[in-house]
A and B are shown apart, each in its own frame.
Chain A
Amino acid sequence: MAVFFKVFSLSNLNFMLQGVGMLLAVASVSIVLSLLLGTLLGTVKAYGPNVPRAAVSVYIEVFRTTPNLLWILIIYFLVPFGSGLSPMQKDFSAGVLAFTLFTSAVVAEIVRGGLNSIPTGQFEGAQSQGFTLVQTLRYIVLPQALRVSVPALLSQVITVVKDTSLLAAVNIAELTVNGRIVIGQFSGDGAALLLVYGFMALVYFSICFSLSIVVRRMQKRRPSGRPGKWEKEPQAA
């Protein structure tokens, strides 16, 4: 019991929660950025002209076949981040850049899958109403495609949260790194090790598990979302 209070002393707890903060910051910023970039890339891959489409395909293949850890190392060691940044800012930008790069490749594939599930009639209908291609995508096709993709995108969010632990490879102060520093205070104490690793597991688990419950609930619902009015009418008649 004494070990418990030593491990979870206020300063240790604060230190590990700082790690959680870094984890959440990197994960959320890179998820937002990769949603934007990935949607753009996915749209180009689905409908773009030949040359950009080929370029996007190469991008997706490269990130799909190589490990994320490799990209974290590449970004951290090879990208010059300028000397104006503090070490903390540099770590954060490196993490966000690496995660945005490989997550947007995955998002692009998911969005492309969603776009392919939209019937061509939607395009023809929009065109007949005088929409341009960009307008059609913006108002008609993308909203439907993104709605279909939400469960897959959320699963990807879970993966991003878990993968932030890889940032430990370059000692970016997220939860895993800070937890291991705390462990350093208790060399060889099995109970302390178990407590700290248990705490880390619990944090990751509670974030990811709550997201996975949402995913499962969504997968059970109709893939297209709420049934529209016109879908209900024939049943009533």
Chain B
Amino acid sequence: MNPFGAEQWQTLFSDFHDVFLTGFLHTFYFSVCGLILALAIGVVLGVFSVTHNGVLRAIARVYVEFFQNTPLFLQLIFMYNVLPNFGIVLDVIPICILGVGMYHGAYISEVVRTGIQSVPKGQMEAAMSQGFTFVQAMRMIVLPQAVKVMLPMLTNQAVNLVKNTSVTAMIAGGELMYLTDSWVGLYQVYGPGYLMAGVLYFVINFPLVSLTKYLEKRAKRGMVPKRVKRTEKILIKEGVANGGVL
């Protein structure tokens, strides 16, 4: 039997709405919520890991090491299977979002830390000398500059996060991977089913990957804002007109 026969495609499109579209929307929902949670955790812990307070730094370190060095699947299944035995019962959807968000929060906090450390120390010192508090200086001076370095790494993390929402299929998360896998097993249409799931993941991730590449290129070209470049050009033109004197 041809695994990609016309009949199989027909089965696929008759169930497209119930299986693939629903799954796609769930994956999208998990990704957006997970990303928001991961960003929140990442920014807080990233800032923690550059403070001078040893306790905060230790909290960030332990969190990052724990979540980065154990599999996401194990973390999900812990919340799904173990916690109920101790009286903590969570719904599947919150578990999926929490799981993906906390896991990628660890990665994003490392991104934030790298970003903050790329901003010269003088910026923080200057801000403090002008009477900014630590939080104010972070929020208004350091983080806005760090964002430029962080952006390509963040979009890259977003790609990984979308891919990792598929792990929630293993605790019956009800997103694209789970619905595809159970549907495909039910009707024995492995080929078209998996292909369609792949296409749908591609639809979410391709724009993110392209954005990552664009941001990487921009970061490599240097941080010179457009305005400055234009002024430079004008200056050079004038310089040429003035016989080499700027």
Contacts and interface: CB of A to CB of B under 8 A. Distances in A.
Q: For the side of the interface on A, what is the size category?
A: 35 or more
Contacts of B68: 158, 208, 212
Nearest to B72: A162
A181 interface: no
Contacts of B78: 197, 201
Contacts, number: 107
Main DSSP-derived SS at the B contact region: helix
A69 B163 CA distance: 9
Q: How large is the interface on B (under 10, 10 to 19, 20 to 34, 35 or more residues)?
A: 35 or more
Contact of B198 (A64, A70, A165, A194): A70
A62 interface: yes
B82 A204 contact: no
Interface string A196-210: 010011001100110
A78 B195 CA distance: 11
Contacts of A208: 68-70
Contacts of A201: 70, 74, 78
B209 A65 contact: yes
B68 to A, nearest CB: 7
Contacts of A193: 81-82, 85
Contacts of A70: 166, 177, 194, 197-198, 201
Interface of A: 61-62, 64-70, 73-74, 77-78, 158, 162-163, 165-166, 168-169, 176, 183, 188-190, 193-194, 197, 200-201, 204-205, 208-209, 212
Interface of B: 3, 65-66, 68-74, 77-78, 81-82, 85-86, 159, 163-167, 169-170, 177, 181, 184, 190-191, 194, 197-198, 201-202, 205-206, 209
6 nearest A-B pairs in the assembled complex, by CB-CB distance: A190-B85, A67-B166, A65-B205, A208-B69, A165-B71, A162-B71
